[in-house]
Amino acid sequence: MAQGGMLLQWLLIINGLYGVYCAYNILVCDNMVSTLHTAVWNCGLHYATKRMLGYWMGTYGTVRLYAGAFNMPGLGALTYILEALCFEYEKKFHTLEFFRAWIVCMSCYCLACYSLAWSIRGKSNALTRHALPGPAAAFEADARDSRGLRGGCKRQRAAASGQGGVGW
């Protein structure tokens, strides 16, 4: 896999672990990490609403962790799009601090685009490598021939069988 794909996998895994960690802090501890996420709302959060936020963060953190561990960038992109859309919707009601909500939305949209780009790139590479004839397929066929995996040239076969060392 290309470097960008591995970077995306690790990004999804780390972001998923961070989401689960933040959910734990919102649900169990009331510390600086939980305040970082609850401070996005400019109205006071009810205790039950705060707990729902923790469950929500734990849910999409787990899905991102799964998407990174099993190389499913499309699934990771879906979580980023859903999170951004939820924050966009809440911005309409002026319940979120605008600048913080804007940062969350833009970062989610950027990560979703990056995830979708690698998802599409990975599928197109798989198609061109295995299904479509072209220079890459011809190069792979020549490489197999030179290693003797698909017949090779007549001289290589003759030399391997011990029947023709003359005429080189």
pLDDT of residue 122: 67
Tell me, what's the pLDDT at 131? Answer: 45
Q: Dump pLDDT digits (tens) for 70-93.
A: 999 999 999 999 999 999 998 888
User: Among 32-41, 59-68, 139-148, where is mean pLDDT lowest?
Assistant: 139-148
39 near 103, Cβ under 8 Å?
no
DSSP 95-146: -B-HHHHHHHHHHHHHHHHHHHHHHHHHHHHHHHHHTS-SHHHHHHHHHHHH
- What are the extents of the domains in the chain? 3-130, 135-161
Going by C-alpha positions, the residue among 142, 138, 137 that lies closest to residue 156 is 142
Q: Which of helix, strand or coil describes residue 152? A: coil
For range 94-101, the mean pLDDT = 86
pLDDT at 132 over 80: no
Neighbours of 52 (CB within 10 A): 13
Q: How many CB atoms lie within 10 A of CB 65?
A: 20
What pLDDT does residue 164 have?
Answer: 56
Query: Is pLDDT at 127 greater than 70 in this prediction?
Result: no
Q: Which of 32, 36, 78, 85 is nearest to 59 (CA)?
A: 78
31-40, 100-109, 116-125, 150-159: the lowest-pLDDT one: 150-159
How does the average pLDDT of the chain come out, rounded?
79
Q: What is the pLDDT of residue 35?
A: 79
**Is the pTM value of this prediction over 0.85?**
no
